[in-house]
A and B are shown apart, each in its own frame.
Chain A
Amino acid sequence: MFLKNSEINRFKKTLLLTEKNIKYNFLKYFILSLIIILITPVIFGTQNLDSRASAIPLEFFIALTGIILITPLFFPENDAGTDELITSKYFENSFVYTIRIIYAVLTLFLLILFFVFYLKLNNCTVNFYHIYGTFSSALFLGSLGLITSALIKNNAVPYMIPLIYFMLNFSGGSKLGKFYIFGMSSGIFEGKIFLLVSGFVLIISAVLIKKYSEK
């Protein structure tokens, strides 16, 4: 980058790690998420929607980006050779995982923020709860994928679990109570805190599981 032949300190080292991870392990998922965001207005029509109708593209489609961005965060080390190499290093794996989770979650939030803002520009009735609610659903879905990935080293199965949960919500939503991800679309603008907190708990658990299964 802008570094010359000089000493690089810890902050710069962390920055370099972040940059490399984004460049090699994150970019394709980000682009896929962008495509989802761009397709959404095409499928749903996003003008003049009321509060409840605005929640629909958010909860049913935008929330899927949570799965795309968060589920594959452990995938780069799914290959046994790479895993052994990285594990033998001085820096603990969980350090890199934490970096990835931070930028992935931030990206997710920003994408949702951007889309809600887009809705607002299109004269839809949206407010901060739409951002918060969609983010909670998206985070929860992604966290399901991440924790599956911590338990099973596979490049496809971790996507199955959040998608199955998504399907389950499609058909039997009321039975899921506070963990129903399409609440706002049904007119319920409260209770998303359970999804949000659970999402974070699952993500942290996933990192801990990874950390202790590597020992």
Chain B
Amino acid sequence: MTENTIEIKNLNKFYGKKHALKNINLTIEKGMFGLLGRNGAGKTTLMRILATTLQKSDGEVKILGTDLKNTRNIRKITGYLPQEFSMYPSMSVYDALEYLGILSGMSGKNFRENIDKLLSTVNLQEKRNVKIRSLSGGMKRRLGIAQALLHNPKILIVDEPTAGLDPEERIRFRNLLSEVASERIVILSTHIVGDIEATCEKTAILNAGELIYNGTVENLIKNAEGNVYTLEADRSEIIVLKKKYNITGIQTSGNKAFIRFISDTEVKNAKLCTPNIEDAYMFYLFEKGSFVNISGGEI
């Protein structure tokens, strides 16, 4: 079983005095796995440790049976798309893939064909001679995925890949990832909850360095059932309502406002509704007491 999974046991990471990752215990299996959490929760730290660009302070990590400290062997089987993906700006897309391909330990067999194949997978064949600095955000991310896959890794680690992308790009990217996940373990970290809902079966939530949820997306949503309400109110009442409830969404239409909020106690004059993953996420944080009032302050 361990030969096909990533096993993380009691993983700790300290930055000086700051305890960035607190006793993480996690098993990740084949398919798309979503790591959810706020900015600063520790997602990137965890990603970096798995990608071997950061040293852990304590704990044990085994990737497909290989201990993390065998850095070179791990790098042969993992592909990494960092959050701040960038490359020599004047390099062309094709040259970048060739260069990174060699560095990734890509096989010499069918070297050129494999690069061409990847270019078409990520839909960048037409841009093969374009310089990296001229690429749009979405294209860069696609290039990022391509370079992570060059050596056909069994593990793909993708850190916040959709941040800053427009909706169309984001969807395209997610689909790409799902395609790729069929034969691999793909770990996707994000603070955009919608990404998880669309692509992942299992997810974990990191909050202030701690793993506070580890299970299926389905269960996360189930957990919030019965706790999400909608309410129709007057626009002028919004300020009051904000103080009263933990609002996850406001829609205004003329003088009316439709607010969506979570509550662990029954609210008589509001309507129960089916939670979406955002509600579920917020509710889970709220339950765990790590909730900060999201309603926002005075306008």
Q: Contact at A82–B87, with CB atoms within 8 Å? A: yes
- Which residues of A1-43 have CB atoms within 8 Å of chain B's CB atoms? 3-5, 7-10, 12-13, 16-17, 20, 23-25
Q: Is B55 an interface residue (CB 8 A)?
A: yes
Is B85 an interface residue when CB atoms closer than 8 A count as contact?
Answer: yes
Of the stretches A83-91, A120-128, A144-152, A171-179, the one at the interface is: A83-91
Point out the residue from B48, B76, B102 that lies within 8 Å of A16, measured CB to CB: B102
Nearest neighbor of B96 in chain A, beta-carbon distance = A20
Q: Once the chains are docked, how many angstroms separate the CA of A7 from the CA of B111?
A: 7
* A7 adjacent to B109 (CB under 8 Å): yes
Chain B residues whose CB sits within 8 angstroms of the CB of A76 once the complex forms: 88
B76 touches A81 (CB 8 A): no
The listed residue (A3, A90, A96) touching B151 by CB distance below 8 A is A90
Q: Which residues of B contact A13 (CB under 8 A)?
A: 102, 108
Query: Which of chain B's residues has its CB closest to A76's CB?
Result: B88
Does A190 touch B at the CB level, under 8 Å?
no
Residue numbers in B under 8 Å from A23 (CB-CB): 95
Q: Contact between B88 and A81 (Cβ–Cβ < 8 Å)?
A: no
Would you call A106 an interface residue if the criterion is a C-beta within 8 Å of the partner chain's C-beta atoms? Answer: no
At the interface, yes or no: B265 with Cβ under 8 Å from chain A? Answer: no
- Answer yes or no: B84 CB below 8 A from chain A CBs: yes
B149 smallest CB distance to A (angstroms)? 13
Does A188 count as interface, using CB distance less than 8 angstroms? no
Residues of B within 8 A of A17 (CB): 99, 102-103
Q: Is B12's CB within 8 Å of the partner chain A?
A: no
How far is A8 from B105 in the complex, measured between Cα atoms in Å? 12
Residue of A20, A25, A81 touching B82 (CB-CB under 8 A):
A81
The listed residue with most A CB atoms (<10 A of its CB), out of B91, B102, B104, is: B102
- By DSSP majority rule, is chain A's interface helix, strand, loop, or mixed? helix
B105 touching A81, Cβ below 8 Å = no
CA distance A24 to B105 in the complex (A): 21
- Whole-angstrom distance from the CB of A15 to the nearest CB of chain B? 10
**A: interface residue count bin:** 20 to 34
Task: Identify which of A4, A5, A90 contacts B76 (C-beta below 8 A).
Answer: A90
Known: A7-B109, A13-B108, A20-B98. A81 touches B55 (CB 8 A): no
Cα A80 to Cα B99 in complex, Å, equals 18
- Report the minimal beta-carbon distance from B139 to chain A, rounded to whole angstroms: 15
Interface size class of B (residues with CB under 8 A): 20 to 34
Residues in B whose Cβ lies below 8 Å from that of A50: none
Interface residues in A71-124 (C-beta closer than 8 Å to B): 76, 79-82, 84-91, 96
Docked-complex contact B86 and A82, CB < 8 angstroms: yes
**Contact across chains for A20 and B95 when beta carbons are under 8 A apart:** yes
B112 within 8 A of A: yes
Chain B contacts of A4 at CB under 8 A? 112
* A88 close to B53 (CB less than 8 A): yes
- For B113, the chain A residues whose CB sits under 8 A away are 5
Q: Are B90 and A90 in contact (CB under 8 A)?
A: no
Task: Decide if B255 is an interface residue (CB 8 Å cutoff).
Answer: no
B110 near A90 with CB under 8 A, answer: no
Question: CA A80 – CA B88 in complex, angstroms?
Answer: 11
Could you tell me if A89 and B100 are in contact, using CB atoms closer than 8 angstroms? yes
Q: Mark B225-247, 1 if CB is under 8 A from A, else 0.
A: 00000000000000000000000
A85→B85 contact, CB < 8 A = yes
Closest to B99 in A: A20
Chain B residues within an 8 Å CB radius of A89: 75, 100, 103-105
Question: Please, which residue of chain B has its CB at the minimum distance from the CB of A20?
Answer: B99
Complex-state Cα separation, A107 to B247, whole angstroms: 66
Residues 71-93 of B at the A interface (beta carbon under 8 Å)? 72, 75-76, 80, 82, 84-88, 90-91
Q: In chain B, what residue has the closest Cβ to A215? A: B55
Instruction: Say if the beta carbon of B216 comes within 8 Å of chain A.
Output: no
Known: A16-B102, A88-B80, A91-B105. A24 touches B88 (CB 8 A): yes
> Which partner residue on chain A sits nearest B159 by CB separation?
A84
Given contact pairs A7-B109, A20-B98, A90 touches B75 in the complex (Cβ within 8 A):
yes
Q: Which chain B residues lie closer than 8 Å to A24 at the CB level?
A: 88, 90-91, 95
B interface, CB within 8 angstroms of A? 48, 51-53, 55, 72, 75-76, 80, 82, 84-88, 90-91, 95, 98-100, 102-105, 108-113, 147, 151
**A-B contacts, 8 listed (Cβ < 8 Å):** A5-B110, A7-B111, A84-B53, A85-B87, A88-B52, A88-B53, A90-B151, A91-B104
Q: Which 8 A-B pairs have the closest CB atoms?
A: A81-B86, A90-B105, A81-B84, A89-B103, A8-B108, A90-B75, A91-B103, A88-B80
